[in-house]
Amino acid sequence: MTMTTLASVLAPGRGATDRLLADVVSKLQVQGVRVIGALCARPWNGDAGHCDSDLLLLPDGPVVRITQDLGSGSVSCRMDAGALEEAVGRASRRLEAEGADLVVLNKFGLSEAEGRGFRTLIAQALSRGVPVLNGLSDTHRAAFEDFAEGMARSLEPDEAAVLDWCRSVTTCQSTQAEEA
């Protein structure tokens, strides 16, 4: 049986997917799973004034700000593409140097939908046989599905279900490595 090694999860409510992924990663790390990727450094807590976006590069930092302050009257995109690409580069180098059991990314967002961002890390991980879990939003669901070409599994936004998938793909990966 072939194990699906690419999955997405979308939890209802602003910040819910970020909180779910943070809880899952925390539990996996305690169990010794080597996780590489990026999570929202401060999951949204309802503060309407908070627009900065910081990523915690897994497993242990640093935190990288991927937005820029354009001033209070600006309506332009605040994404700092250079900072995002630097975060992607750091995560990719970490995967190359240290390996991983699992890659977790807070979301497949606009940059990824447009062919940039963490798409390179996703492809790098999958080509190395490392499973990938992506947070998802309704806005970019179609772009993710196009990218995944039917090979991704959509997980229920339930911590136990996400942990079960993560454990099954990391156990499967470990078993395959031991058999080789």
- Single out the residue of 73, 56, 74 nearest to residue 65, CA to CA: 56
**pTM (2 d.p.):** 0.86
Give phi and psi for 56, each to the nearest 5. -95, 115
DSSP 79: B
Please provide the DSSP assignment of 108-147 as one string: --HHHHTT-TTHHHHHHHHHTT--EEEE--GGGHHHHHHH
| 3-state secondary structure at position 13 | coil
Separation of alpha carbons 150 and 17, rounded Å: 22
Structure confidence at residue 2 (pLDDT)? 46
Q: How would you list the strands of the sheet with 153-155, edge to edge?
A: 63-65, 54-58, 35-40, 102-105, 132-135, 6-9, 153-155
Separation of alpha carbons 174 and 130, rounded Å: 10
**pLDDT by residue, tens only, the chain of 180 residues:** 345 799 999 999 988 999 999 999 999 999 999 999 999 887 555 554 445 688 999 999 999 888 776 656 655 556 678 888 999 999 999 999 999 999 999 999 989 999 999 999 999 999 999 999 999 999 999 999 999 999 999 999 999 999 999 999 997 554 444 444
Separation of alpha carbons 49 and 121, rounded Å: 31
| 3-state secondary structure at position 27 | helix
All structural domains of the chain: 6-44+51-179 (3.40.50.300)
Tokens matching residue 152: 């991704």
